[in-house]
Amino acid sequence: MSRRPEHLAPPEVFYNDEEARKYTQNTRMIDIQVQMCERAIELLLLPEDEACFLLDIGCGSGLSGSVLEDQGHVWVGVDISPAMLNVALEREVEGDLILGDMGQGMSFRAGSFDGAVSISALQWLCNADKATHNPVKRLQQFFSSLFACLSRSARAVFQFYPENSDQIELVTTQAMKAGFFGGIVVDFPNSTKAKKFFLVLMTGGSMPLPKALGTEDTSTVSYTSKREQMKKAKGKPLKKSRDWILEKKERRKRQGREVRENSRYTGRKRSGRF
């Protein structure tokens, strides 16, 4: 019997209050979500040191949105699960949250966003959860409306879990019909656990797809990347520390956003926080 969530119930049913809290409190799920969102942002090829306006599709409880915030971007999140969005509100995420079904399209003004990310959501559209659901038509509606609301230099990156090659062909075909260029990037293709699929879509014309991770000698890559990460981390405040929070607040002030005043409680760990 299949254990894929999309086979058990529609997303708004599967992610009820209990499942939404369980998902957001699971440290392993949080780590995976953060890593996949960081990789998706990397694949967006955004301008360096520039705050962008991004769309998070299937934003859930705001885990990926928090990654967008940490990198200095402003975001809007769309999700079909009220329970997930309630958890996001409790977590006090800074993105604007919208309850919506991606299969019914993205109702935003043309050219609104500088890019879009989606983590672990696209495969849900390949299912017909209701008698009125037609996966091909829902994907058509989704991709055509997404293409319209992105700027003409924007990219959209979807990390997803395709069930088979037919699903990969289904989503890529509908994306190209909507006007996108691009294709599938498979990180660590030879690994059972680390293998990840990313659909990378471009609006501004055909360009080479980004290089996939894990396609070289893994022993060399892993040690090199660790050294580079340690170099980058030197001199930076520890994440979630008081200095890190103050630096984040200053960045938001420079963006013209409203920020709470600092106090002796700033950066102090709260009990019961997700």
Model confidence over 163-205: pLDDT tens digits? 899 999 999 999 999 999 999 999 999 998 899 999 999 998 8
Instruction: Note if the pTM is more than 0.85.
Output: no
Q: Residue 123: phi, psi to the nearest 5?
A: -65, -20
Residue 44 has pLDDT above 50, yes or no: yes
Q: Which residues pair with 114 in a beta bridge?
A: none
SS3 label, residue 257: coil
Residue 271 has pLDDT above 60, yes or no: no
What is the average per-residue pLDDT within 40-65? 93
Q: Which CATH superfamily is domain 5-215 in?
A: Vaccinia Virus protein VP39 (3.40.50.150)
CA distance 219 to 153: 36
Q: Residues 83, 16: contact at Cβ < 8 Å?
A: yes
- Start-to-end C-alpha separation, the chain: 32
The larger pLDDT score, comparing residue 163 to residue 73, is at 73
What number of helices (H) and strands (E) belong to the chain? 10, 7
Name the token pair of 134.
Answer: 């037609």
User: What pLDDT was estimated at residue 11?
Assistant: 58
Question: Which residue's entry shows tokens 């293709």?
Answer: 189
Question: Which residue's entry shows tokens 């293998």?
Answer: 195
What is the average per-residue pLDDT within 95-110? 93
Residue 31 has pLDDT above 70, yes or no: yes
> Residue 209: which pLDDT band, with cuts at 50, 70 and 90?
very high
What is the percentage of the chain residues whose pLDDT exceeds 90? Answer: 49
Sorted by where each begins, the domain ranges of the chain are 5-215, 217-256
Name the token pair of 150.
Answer: 């992105």
How many Cβ atoms are within 10 Å of 168's Cβ, its own excluded? 18
